[in-house]
Amino acid sequence: EMAYMEIYNEEIRDLLSKNPKSDELRMQENRDGTVGMINLTKKAVKSPSEVGDLMELANKKRVVASTHMNAVSSRSHAVC
C-alpha cells in the first residue's frame, strides 16, 4: 500500500487524489504519540514498478516554481 503527500505553504496536499487540495485531509495525533493522516488516499501496489508509476503520476501534481538557482525547483516537501 502506498500514499504520497506534500506540504507546501503549511498546506497538506494528497498527491494520489483526484483533488489534491481537499479540505477533508487532516493530520491527527494518535493516543500513542504517533501522527497519522485522515482521508489520505492509499493505493495498493504489488511491485516496485507500480510504486514508480504512481510516484511519477504524483510528481506531476507537486508544486514547483523557479528560483535564482533552479528553473523548476520544488517548493514543497514530499512524503511517500
Kindly report, residue by residue over 16-46, the tens digit of the pLDDT: 988 767 777 888 999 999 999 999 999 999 9
Is the pLDDT reported for residue 1 higher than 80?
A: yes
Q: Which three cell numbers stand for residue 27?
A: 493530520
Angle at 74 between CA 24 and CA 35, to 5 degrees: 40
Cα separations in angstroms, 79 against 3, 27, 31, 69: 8, 13, 22, 24
Whole-structure pTM value: 0.72
